[in-house]
C-alpha cells in the first residue's frame, strides 16, 4: 500500500502498525478502550487526570494484561497527584509518557527518560515546541484549537506552517479537528508522523461513554463545539471546547464567583485554578458516566460535525486507513497526469 511509506516514521517511533493515536480523555480512556485500540493496530493513551495513584496503577496493570501492544500514559502536570503519578510510571517502567496540561520541567522529562520511557509533549505554540525539544522531548503532538477539551490558542492550520514545516529533529503527530482518512493522508504528506483523534473514538462501540453522551455527539454540528471564555486575566483558565449546554453556563457563573472571592481575598489564585479543574472533572463525569447531557460537560472537538454513527473500533481504524490510501492513490493519479509528456 502507498500509505505504508508515510507510516514509517510513526510506526518506528510508537511501535504500532498504524500511527493513529487515541487522545487521553478523562473518564473515557480506560484500560478497555486503550487496549482495544492497541489490539486493532493503533496507539492508545491512558488518561492519568487526577486519578489516585493506587487506582492509576491498577489501570496500567490491567491495560498491560489486556494487550501486549505498546500504549502511553498521559500525565496532567497541573494535577495535584502529578508528581506521585510520574513516580509511579517510572516505577512501572511505562514505555511512553505524554506530558499535558502545562510545560513539564526539564528534570521531569529527564526523569521519565531515565526510566526508559519515550517522552511526548503537547505543543500549542511555536516557541513552546522549540522549548520542549530543548528540554528533551522525543516527539511532539501539535494540537490545534479545533480540538475538544482543554485547548491551546492557535489553529492547526497555523501550527502546521509554523512547526511541522520547520521542525524535523523529532517526530510530530497532529491533533485537532481530524476525523477522516482523507485528512490524515494530507497531513502525512505534509510530514506528520501520525495523527491523534479523540472525538471520533468517542463513537466507538467499545467506548464506555454513556449512550446519551454519544447520541448528543451524533446530532451535533461543528459550530456547536464552542470554547469557553476567560473573563479576567487574574483567573487564567485554560479554554475548554465543549458542546454548549447548561454546564457551560454553570462554568461561566463559577468563574464570576471565583473572581469575586479573589477580589475579597477569600481564595488565592492557585486554589481558584484548582476549583476550575475540579469543576471540569466532576462535570465531565456527569455527562460521560451518568448521561446528564444537560448539565454535564460535553467536551468535543469541532470534528464532532464529521461523526454521525457509532462503529466498532476496528471499523473506524480500517476506514481511516482505507480512505487515506484511496486519497493518496487519487493524488498520485493527478501527479502522474501532470507529469505525462
pLDDT tens by residue, 188-239: 999 999 999 999 999 999 999 999 999 999 999 999 999 988 887 778 778 8
Using DSSP's 3-state secondary structure scheme, residue 159 falls into helix
Quick one: pLDDT at residue 341? 64
Quick one: pLDDT at residue 74? 96
Residue 260: φ, ψ to 5°: -65, -40
CATH architecture, domain defined by 3-208+309-339? Alpha-Beta Barrel (3.20)
- Angle at which helices 53-66 and 82-92 cross, to 10°: 40
Residue 44 DSSP one-character state: E
User: Is the full-model pTM beyond 0.75?
Assistant: yes
Quick one: pLDDT at residue 238? 80
Question: Residues of 177-210 as b/e, b for ≥16 C-beta within 10 angstroms?
Answer: bbbbbebbbebbeebbbbbbbbbbbbbbebbebb
The residues facing 22 across adjacent strands are: 44, 197
Mean residue pLDDT of the chain comes to 93
Quick one: pLDDT at residue 337? 84
Looking only at the bridges linking them, the beta strands covering 172-175 and 43-47 are unpaired
% of residues, the chain, pLDDT over 90: 77
Q: Where in the chain is the domain with CATH 3.20.20.70?
A: 3-208+309-339
Q: Is the pLDDT of residue 338 over 80?
A: no
Residue 134: CB atoms within 10 Å: 9
Using DSSP's 3-state secondary structure scheme, residue 226 falls into strand
Helices (H) and strands (E) in the chain, counts: 13, 11
Q: Is the pLDDT of residue 340 over 90?
A: no
What does the pLDDT look like over 279-337, one tens digit per residue?
888 888 999 999 999 999 999 999 999 999 999 999 999 999 999 999 999 999 998 88
Query: What CA–CA distance (Å, rounded) separates 237 from 308?
Result: 31
Quick one: pLDDT at residue 150? 87
Amino acid at each position: 500500500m502507498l500509505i505504508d511509506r508515510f507510516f514509517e516514521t510513526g510506526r518506528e517511533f510508537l511501535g504500532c502498525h498504524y500511527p493513529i493515536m487515541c487522545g487521553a480523555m478523562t473518564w473515557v480512556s480506560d484500560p478497555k478502550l486503550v487496549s482495544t485500540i492497541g489490539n486493532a493496530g493503533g496507539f492508545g493513551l491512558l488518561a492519568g487526570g487526577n486519578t489516585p495513584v493506587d487506582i492509576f496503577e491498577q489501570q496500567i496493570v490491567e491495560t498491560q494484561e489486556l494487550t501486549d501492544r505498546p500504549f502511553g500514559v498521559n500525565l496532567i502536570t497541573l494535577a495535584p497527584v502529578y508528581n506521585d503519578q510520574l513516580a509511579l510510571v517510572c516505577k512501572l517502567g511505562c514505555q511512553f509518557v505524554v506530558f499535558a496540561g502545562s510545560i513539564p520541567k526539564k528534570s521531569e522529562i529527564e526523569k521519565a527518560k531515565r526510566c526508559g520511557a519515550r517522552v511526548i509533549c503537547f505543543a500549542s505554540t511555536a516557541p513552546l515546541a522549540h522549548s520542549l525539544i530543548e528540554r528533551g522531548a522525543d516527539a511532539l503532538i501539535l494540537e490545534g484549537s479545533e480540538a475538544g477539551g482543554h485547548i491551546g490558542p492557535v489553529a492547526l492550520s497555523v501550527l502546521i506552517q509554523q512547526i511541522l514545516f520547520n521542525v524535523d529533529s523529532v517526530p510530530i503527530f497532529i491533533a485537532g479537528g481530524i476525523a477522516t482518512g482523507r485528512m490524515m493522508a494530507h497531513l502525512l504528506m505534509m510530514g506528520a508522523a501520525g495523527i491523534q483523534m479523540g472525538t471520533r473514538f468517542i463513537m466507538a462501540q467499545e467506548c464506555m461513554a454513556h449512550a446519551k453522551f454519544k447520541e448528543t455527539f451524533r446530532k451535533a454540528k461543528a459550530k456547536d463545539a464552542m470554547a469557553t471564555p476567560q473573563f479576567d486575566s487574574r483567573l487564567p483558565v485554560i479554554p475548554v471546547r465543549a458542546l454548549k449546554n447548561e454546564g457551560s453556563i454553570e462554568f461561566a457563573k463559577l468563574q464570576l464567583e471565583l473572581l469575586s472571592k479573589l477580589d475579597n481575598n477569600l481564595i488565592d489564585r492557585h486554589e481558584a485554578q484548582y476549583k476550575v479543574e475540579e469543576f471540569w472533572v466532576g462535570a465531565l463525569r456527569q455527562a460521560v458516566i451518568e448521561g446528564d447531557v444537560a448539565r454535564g460537560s460535553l467536551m468535543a472537538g469541532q470534528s464532532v460535525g464529521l461523526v454521525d454513527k457509532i462503529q466498532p473500533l476496528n471499523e473506524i481504524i480500517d476506514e481511516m486507513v482505507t480512505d487515506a490510501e484511496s486519497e493518496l492513490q487519487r493524488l498520485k493519479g493527478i501527479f502522474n497526469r501532470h507529469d505525462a509528456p
